Amino acid sequence: MLSEFSLIDRFFARRAGTVRIATDGTLGIGDDCALLAPRSGEMLAISTDMLVEGRHFFPDIDPHALGHKALAVNLSDLAAMGARPQAFTLAFALPQASEEWLAAFSSGLFELAERYDCELIGGDTTAGPLNLCLTVFGSVPPKLALRRDAAQPGDDIWISGALGDARAGLGVLRGEWKADDSDTATFRRALEYPEPRVQLGLALRGIAHAALDLSDGLAGDLLHILERSQMQAQVDVDAVPRSSALRRLAPEIQQRCTLAGGDDYELCFTAPATARAAIELAGSEVNIPVTRIGTIGALESAASSPAISWRDASGNPLTLSLQGFDHFHAD
């Protein structure tokens, strides 16, 4: 089965990169290890994600979309550090080696990899229940890395793109709500083909303070920044950007999808108010909209906990119930 090495070779090894290891040679797939170095004076940013059928994607997902998404969610972690993609490894278990499935999966994977100049440098394949584990490597000057613990009092809170479409797509597929064909296509594309914000992450080096990518929903993910930075936040719920397709769903669905939906893979970052013009410029240069949605504040006392205060556009406090709003990427 998967000892049909010719299939693996055809779809993966031949498209894999070779890494220059010395002035006189390169080393590609096929040795015990790959060799990799960050750019001079930089460090490797490393992230690993495991995707399991039924938990991170539906069993009938288009394998092309799966190939794209498996790499996209990992590149999104590099984007959130301000790291430049360099390479990745791919390990996967497959119940059976279908040539058609592997052809589509590898196309989705390599189309994205090639756009970001990110080379496959190693991997492992085995028979087993469908499972994908990717590890990605980017290069970043350590002092410019966008960390989660760097938010400062007075920082603006920013979001790239628009939130909630992926969760809206999941809801349509699950029959939780309905949308017309065109909006459904918009939502499904957001769910299946998330675009990692790599160029924006690079453009925010030296400008943004803290950053992360939104995989589990704004409410939970922003809290990670607050906890690691020991800060609190005020967020204007009405300012959170959403697509025109999402605006056609009921207001309470819009709100829950934008604030507690998962799988957005947009960047959430903080930056001082003095950086507003620089951030608008960075966003327009990479053609990714950026929107201010709130403010970071110091904790009121040593005893208070990091938390988000939700406000409406007039600044009135809102009490939101976002608990138990299940999204796809639940762990």
Helix axes 251-260, 165-174, angle to 10 degrees: 120
To a copy of itself, the closest distance from the beta carbon of 130 in angstroms equals 9
Q: Which two tokens stand for residue 184?
A: 């459904």
- Piece of the chain touching a copy of itself by CB under 8 A; list 45-53, 59-67, 101-109, 296-304: 45-53
Number of residues that bind a copy of itself (CB under 8 A): 66
- Piece of the chain touching a copy of itself by CB under 8 A; list 35-43, 233-241, 244-252, 253-261: 35-43
The reply to whether 180 sits near a copy of itself by the rule CB under 8 A is no
The alpha carbon torsion through 208, 314, 219, 232 (nearest 10 deg) reads 60
The reply to whether 38 sits near a copy of itself by the rule CB under 8 A is yes
The span from the CA of 213 to the CA of 224, in Å, is: 11
Positions in 216-255 near a copy of itself (CB under 8 A)? 224, 228
Q: Which is nearer to a copy of itself, 83 or 245 (CB)?
A: 83
The reply to whether 331 sits near a copy of itself by the rule CB under 8 A is yes
Return the residue of 7, 104, 113, 135 that touches a copy of itself, per CB under 8 A.
135
Site string for a copy of itself, 198-217 (x = CB under 8 A): -------------xxx----
The span from the CA of 167 to the CA of 243, in Å, is: 12
Q: Which is nearer to a copy of itself, 88 or 187 (CB)?
A: 88
Q: Are 72 and 193 in contact (CB under 8 A)?
A: yes
Q: Which of 71, 186, 202, 196 minimizes the C-alpha distance to 136?
A: 71
Helix axes 63-81, 181-192, angle to 10 degrees: 60
Q: How far is CA 171 from CA 127, 247, 285, in A?
A: 32, 15, 33
Contacts to a copy of itself by CB under 8 A: 2-3, 21-22, 27, 30-38, 42-56, 77-78, 80-81, 83, 89, 91-93, 121-129, 131, 133, 135, 137-138, 140, 142-143, 145, 147-149, 211-213, 224, 228, 330-331
